[in-house]
Amino acid sequence: MQDFTYQNPTRVHFGAGQIAKVRDEIPADARVLVTYGGGSIKRNGVMDQIESALEGREWWSFGGIEPNPSYHTLLEALDVIKREKIDFLLAVGGGSVADGSKFLALAACHAGDPWEILAEGKHPQTALPLGVVLTLPATGSESNGNAVVTNYETHDKLPMFSELAYPRFAVLDPATTLTLPERQSVNGVVDAFIHVSEQYLTYPVNAPVQDRFSEGLLMTLIEEGPKVLSQPDDLAVRANIMWAANLGLNGLIGRGVPQDWATHMIGHEITALHGVDHGRTLTIVMPALWEELFEAKRAKLAQYGRRVWALEGDDESVARDAIVKTREFFTRMGAPVSLSEAGISADSIDKLVENLTRHGFTAIGEHGDITPDVARRILTRAA
Ligand code: NZQ
Ligand code: ZN
């Protein structure tokens, strides 16, 4: 196992009725901005619960943060923060609202051009405090310091990380996810599955605790994921998926082990260029990446095949079959496993690789050996 430092500062309130806890979490004299997306929270009763929790408090709201949050929309929210002297952010929604609000938490305290935060990694010394009420289990954003923001004018979808961006608290009430459209439920399951894979499916470093945690999460997602299609109103299923997605990217399983993240970096380019939902870009890229990097990942693929899929045989065949099983799982969930299934022609591959290079992602993966040429081969396999 590799050495590491671990702290997750986000307090999680999980379960029915927990949105009321927002009241205890936010100081009584705070000037709060509630950020949200396209309006799902107004249709499913979540906003009503927020209004009750904040009754008598000073608060404003900013809606319209879109999936894959737009930098320019966030600048409008930044104006509200400055004008109203906001000193606490409450993000209510999925990963996009949480991510956008993390960027705002930093941007509100940044003296220079906010774009520097994303493009140059220039971060302020402080950030506004943030809480998250999660309505879409997928990203783990509610309990981590990551955010991804898109500049639609330039097709730049850029990730950032800051210790300052961890939410102070996160509310996870599975009932809020019962109104998710099937497509978004699927996106969440496969995104969470691939977060675990990015931290697990690399090479062995004698880290059995991390491996067993990851295998448990993958098995849970394989068992529970299809149930959101067959029994979408089952609250117990929703709860299990919500907790699995949180643990998939709250930092725990990734400590002390190598991490890949190349599927994500390539996937972000597909979203930036073609607008494909985040989770669906990953199901296209990851099996092809595993095939291309087969030798480097063979030992872990074989372990995964045996423990998660109960496959038997020699390493080579178990590892190959594990990739087949993974593709079948994504297909069963209704997620695409090729660019063509997502309506993207192979003609795009050059542009995708060019954008990856322009963003500086020229040596990615756990060994830093996914160069633009390797990325092109992965995308060609995924065509
Ligand atoms: O905008 P509203 O009207 O709320 O509708 C949203 C949106 O259209 C809808 N939705 C959310 N909760 C709902 C609901 N509809 C009905 N009922 C509910 N309870 O779902 C749609 C998608 O929401 P979005 O927030 O975009 O989805 P997700 O949570 O998958 O977030 C995706 C974003 O997170 C980034 C992705 O790149 C993408 O920009 N990621 C963030 C990460 C992180 N912070 O650690 C890691 C991930 O790998 C990922 O990159
Ligand atoms: Zn993801």
Q: What is the pLDDT of residue 338?
A: 98
What span, in angstroms and rounded, lies between the C-alpha atoms of 260 and 105?
28
| Ligand 1 pocket, mutate which of 35, 99, 102 (most atoms under 8 A from CB) | 99
Q: Could you tell me if 382 and 285 are in contact, meaning their C-beta atoms sit under 8 angstroms apart?
A: yes
Helix (H) or strand (E) holding 134: strand 130-134
pLDDT score, position 100: 98
Q: Which domains does the chain have, with CATH numbers?
A: 11-176 (3.40.50.1970), 182-381 (1.20.1090.10)
Cα(196) to centroid(ligand 2), Å: 10
- Closest atom, ligand 1, to C-alpha of 141: 44
What residues of the chain score a pLDDT lower than 70? none
pLDDT score at 381: 98
Tokens of 173: 């009430």
Give residue 306's pLDDT: 98
Tokens of residue 355, six digits? 């954008």
Of the CA atoms within 13 Å of residue 178, those in its CB half-sphere come to: 14
Task: Give the number of other CB atoms < 10 A from CB of residue 229.
Answer: 14
Q: Between vectors from CA 288 to CA 287 and to CA 289, what angle results, nearest 5°? A: 90
Query: Phi and psi at residue 260, in whole multiples of 5°?
Result: -100, -75
CA-based radius of gyration for the chain: 20
Give strand pairing partners of 93: 134
Percent of the chain whose pLDDT exceeds 70: 100
Listed residue (144, 160, 253, 143) closest to 209, CA to CA: 253
Choose which residue among 42, 96, 189 to substitute to test ligand 1 binding: the one with the highest number of ligand atoms within 8 A of its C-beta.
96
Cβ-contact 117, 123 below 8 angstroms:
yes
- Token pair of 283, please? 């199901």
* Distance from residue 313's CA to the centre of ligand 2 (Å): 32
Q: Is the CB of 135 under 6 A from ligand 1?
A: yes
Q: In a 3-state reduction of DSSP, which class is residue 2?
A: coil
CA distance 303 to 307: 6
Distance CA 95, CA 359 (A): 22
- In this structure, the residue with its CA closest to atom 8 of ligand 1 is 67
Q: What is the pLDDT of residue 188?
A: 98
Ligand 1 within 6 A of CB of 147: yes
Contacts with 110 (C-beta within 8 Å, 6 or more apart), sequence order? 116, 117, 122, 123, 124
Nearest Cα residue to 90 out of 126, 124, 65 = 65
Q: How many CB atoms lie within 10 A of CB 351?
A: 13
Compute, in angstroms, the gap from residue 190 CA to the centroid of ligand 2: 8
d(CA 309, CA 303): 10
State the helix-helix crossing angle for 294-309 and 208-224, rounded to 10 degrees: 60
Q: Is the CB of 95 under 6 A from ligand 1?
A: yes
Q: What is the pLDDT of residue 270?
A: 97
Locate the ligand 1 atom nearest the alpha carbon of residue 39 and give its number.
Answer: 3
Helix, strand, coil fractions of the chain, as percent rounded to 5? 55, 10, 35
